[in-house]
Amino acid sequence: MSKEIIIIGGGIIGLSTAYYLQKEGCKVTVVDQTDISEGASFVNAGYISPSHIIPLAAPGMITTGLKMMFNSASPFYVKPRFDSDFLKWSLAFKKSSTESKVAKAIPVIKEINLLSKELYTDIYNNDEFDFQFERKGLLMYYQTEKAGEKEMKTAKRAAEVGLETELLSLEEIKKIEPNVNLNVKGAIYYKCDAHMTPGEFMSQMTTYLKGQNVIFYTNERVVDMTVQADKVATVLTDKRKISADEVVIAAGSWSPLLAKKIGITLLVQAGKGYRINVKRPTGITIPSLLMEAKVGVTPMNGFTRFAGTMELAGINHKINPVRVKAIANAAENYFNRLKIEPSEINDAACGLRPVSPDGLPYIGRVGTYKNLSIATGHAMMGWSLGPATGKLIAEILTGRKTSMDTTPFNPKRKF
């Protein structure tokens, strides 16, 4: 039976969900408060990253956050504030930051990342699309032995779950990346990763979905939802009232605000990230992560992107020039011949990534209302996990067997 479905949110998660639902013959409507040309789905590093097996909520992150709290240029920053939602999230984050919970999360994160990479490949092979999708892996550059040893431990865990890794010396790096002058001791090479140009994919996917009769209501804000018994009856925007058989909240960092309108608590904090685009030749051909600085570097179509920081400071799009300059400084520090111009720094943009307390996304029905599902909380892996999330939600809503066990992603899970 064909269902009518409303998806609130037009980012990578919302569009991926629309893609798989329309394939199932569903009538899909996407509502977004923007024109779908900005935000986290457009400013991210474009990684499809099975290598990122360690969740943000890992042992030591609380201590790291406290140390960095007073450094405005640090890659990880938590703004202290007396807000009940933030305090609940912080407590859940602390409970999740244990070795045993990380160990349980690793195979789950690997499985959903590999599923998503496979689905991206399927979309790439569709004649309707023509976007950058390169499987060159990811180089984790380190300047200090301490950072190298830490990443080697992660690489060992990655190898234990079947991911291919390799330790490279500076001389070995030069053989595969000959046109850059690097200030590093070495790198861990994760050969399982891929990368894309996010804006390119988002534009093509939007065009494709419109061609498949998916309805888009853009620049339209959801102001409320009404419920009848155990179902969401209508979605009210600032322009219209919409009803459907199913409702999916895929609104990123705004998802808990929407859920709260109908009495659902969703622990998510907005994690701001920044990007700088350099539209000049840099010689960089393989994506990398600058370990000590926590800056991602991606060769995209027509430019090289430098992206970084995790700033937990609530929902705001204020650009902090100190943090942007820290990304530029890190890039110039690792790449000796690189100079990022003031105009490129001034053109920086930011996006808000929805961060769950345990580093795993929320994917599935909430239970409270039979026709309401959640798809958010992906933190730094939103781009990587877009198609897998959309596929899983489509399978849940159409009653199909899911491509993987979704129990770890239960929106009602306890922390």
Predicted local distance difference test score (pLDDT) of residue 73: 78
Whether 340 is covered by a domain: the verdict is yes
Is pLDDT of 356 > 80?
yes
Whether 367 is covered by a domain: the verdict is yes
Q: What is the pTM of this model?
A: 0.96
Can you give the residue range of the structural domain that contains 216?
4-409
243-278 residue pLDDT tens: 999 999 999 999 999 999 999 999 999 999 999 999
| Domains identified in the chain, total number | 1
Whether 394 is covered by a domain: the verdict is yes
331-347 residue pLDDT tens: 999 999 999 999 999 99
4-38 residue pLDDT tens: 999 999 999 999 999 999 999 999 999 999 999 99
Whether 60 is covered by a domain: the verdict is yes
Predicted local distance difference test score (pLDDT) of residue 192: 95
388-399 residue pLDDT tens: 999 999 999 999
Whether 100 is covered by a domain: the verdict is yes
Is pLDDT of 64 > 80?
no
For the four alpha carbons of 63, 69, 71 and 77, in that order, the dihedral sign comes to positive
Whether 414 is covered by a domain: the verdict is no
Mean pLDDT of 296-305: 98
* Closest C-alpha among 376, 358, 97, 387 to residue 264: 376
Whether 98 is covered by a domain: the verdict is yes
Whether 415 is covered by a domain: the verdict is no
Predicted local distance difference test score (pLDDT) of residue 50: 94
What is the pLDDT confidence band of residue 69, given thresholds at 50, 70 and 90? low
Mean model confidence pLDDT for the chain: 95
91-115 residue pLDDT tens: 999 999 999 999 999 999 999 999 9
231 burial (CB, 10 Å; 0-12 / 13-18 / 19+) is middle
Is pLDDT of 124 > 80?
yes
What is the pLDDT confidence band of residue 82, given thresholds at 50, 70 and 90? confident
Predicted local distance difference test score (pLDDT) of residue 59: 84
Is pLDDT of 371 > 70?
yes
What is the pLDDT confidence band of residue 305, given thresholds at 50, 70 and 90? very high
Is pLDDT of 1 > 70?
no
Is pLDDT of 63 > 80?
no
CATH number of domain containing 181? 3.50.50.60
